[in-house]
């Protein structure tokens, strides 16, 4: 449980830094008056609420997913029903996306309004044990309220980018006296927000791996699935369309082809690190156990 406590503290600290940046920009734009700080904080909260409330429909639409019946996907229904029952949580809605790129994601405001989606590619790639590991991971994103966490992070990052531009163009005398400072603000503030958002996303992936493996009682199943997904997503990456980029942080594996500097801006931690953690978890559990 040490990893979970550490990751929770890390997530809280990263959010604290993001809000400090929002309020700091508000302070600069307002020339040190509190009204702009409160205004920008309000804008941040509104954008967060909208992003969170619409998160399920946005992701499902972006992946062109459709709801499936138990007759169409009996294995998927069987696994999710067993795991949600074990976790004492309601059964989520199940979707399949008609793409050969192997991936899966979960979304929704809470367990009562959750949806889990698999692509046709991942259903063809994984065996039932590996699929169980993946679905356990996705369900833990819902149970850990990670959709809320990622929605907040994405919304605040967007607010920081917008506010930095406002501060640069409407900062008045401060911008005129220090144009270089204003230019650095409009570049560095969004960059900092993006890096913090990525840090939060990676932290939540580690937790979903650990908690999902505990739910299934089979860390090595998820480790095996991640190995296949690393190769599968490299061979069949998704196109980097805007709507897909916006929901990519929800997926179990980075859906885009990325090398070199692109890895620095990935929403997912390195697969090798995730697999190593799962192997260590399997060692402490003494092999396969059941939740």
- DSSP states of 111-122 as a string? GGG-EEEEEHHH
Domain span at residue 246?
2-285
Please state, in angstroms and as integers, the Cα–Cα distance from residue 133 to each residue in 15, 94, 128, 147, following that order: 29, 16, 9, 19
Taking the mean position of all CA atoms in its chain, how far away is CA 269? Answer: 11
111 within 8 A of 142, measured Cβ to Cβ: yes
Instruction: Indicate whether 124 belongs to any domain.
Output: yes
User: What pLDDT does residue 206 have?
Assistant: 93
Return the residue matching tokens 């702009």: 36
Tell whether the model's pLDDT for residue 173 goes beyond 80: no
Instruction: Indicate whether 291 belongs to any domain.
Output: no
139 within 8 A of 215, measured Cβ to Cβ: yes
d(Cα 203, Cα 219) in Å, to the nearest integer?
A: 18
User: What pLDDT does residue 284 have?
Assistant: 82
Instruction: Indicate whether 290 belongs to any domain.
Output: no
Instruction: Indicate whether 246 belongs to any domain.
Output: yes
In the structure, what pLDDT confidence band is assigned to residue 253 with cuts at 50, 70 and 90? very high
Instruction: Indicate whether 50 belongs to any domain.
Output: yes
Rounded to an integer, the average pLDDT of 189-201 is 74
| Residue 147, both tokens | 């959709």
Instruction: Indicate whether 42 belongs to any domain.
Output: yes
In the structure, what pLDDT confidence band is assigned to residue 2 with cuts at 50, 70 and 90? very low
Tell whether the model's pLDDT for residue 205 goes beyond 80: yes
Instruction: Indicate whether 84 belongs to any domain.
Output: yes
Bridge partners, residue 106, by sequence: 116
**190-199, 227-236, 239-248: lowest mean pLDDT where?**
190-199
CA angle 272, 276, 278 (to 5 degrees): 120
What's the whole-model pTM score? Answer: 0.78
Instruction: Indicate whether 272 belongs to any domain.
Output: yes
286 or 112: whose pLDDT is higher?
112
d(Cα 239, Cα 255) in Å, to the nearest integer?
A: 9
Number of domains composing the chain: 1
Query: Among all residues, which ones are annotated catalytic?
Result: 138
Per-residue pLDDT tens for 32-83? Answer: 555 665 666 666 667 666 666 766 778 899 999 999 999 999 999 999 999 9
Bridge partners, residue 117, by sequence: 95, 105
């Amino acid at each position: 449980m040490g990893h979970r406590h550490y990751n929770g503290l890390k997530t809280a600290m990263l959010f604290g830094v993001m809000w400090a940046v929002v309020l700091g920009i508000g302070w600069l734009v307002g020339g040190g008056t509190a009204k702009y700080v409160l205004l920008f904080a309000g804008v941040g909260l509104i954008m967060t609420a909208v992003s969170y409330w619409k998160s399920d429909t946005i992701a499902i639409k972006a992946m062109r997913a459709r709801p499936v019946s138990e007759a169409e996907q009996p294995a998927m229904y069987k696994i999710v029903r067993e795991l949600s029952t074990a976790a004492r949580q309601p059964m989520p809605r199940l979707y399949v996306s008609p793409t050969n790129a192997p991936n899966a994601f979960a979304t929704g405001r809470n367990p009562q309004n959750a949806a889990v989606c698999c692509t046709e590619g991942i259903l063809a790639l994984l065996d039932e044990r590996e699929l169980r590991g993946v679905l356990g991971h996705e369900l833990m994103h819902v149970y850990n309220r990670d959709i809320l966490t990622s929605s907040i992070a994405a919304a605040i990052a967007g607010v920081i980018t917008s506010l930095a531009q406002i501060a640069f163009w409407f900062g008045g005398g401060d911008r005129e006296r220090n144009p270089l400072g204003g230019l650095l603000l409009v570049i560095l503030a969004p960059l900092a927000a993006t890096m913090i958002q990525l840090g939060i996303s990676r932290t939540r992936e580690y937790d979903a791996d650990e908690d999902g493996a505990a739910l299934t009682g089979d860390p090595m199943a998820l480790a095996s699935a991640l190995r296949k997904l690393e190769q599968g997503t490299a061979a069949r990456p998704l196109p980097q369309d805007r709507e897909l980029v916006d929901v990519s942080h929800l997926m179990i594996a980075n859906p885009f082809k990325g090398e070199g500097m692109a890895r620095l801006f990935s929403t997912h931690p390195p697969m090798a690190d995730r697999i190593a953690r799962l192997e260590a978890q399997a060692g402490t559990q003494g092999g396969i156990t059941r939740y």
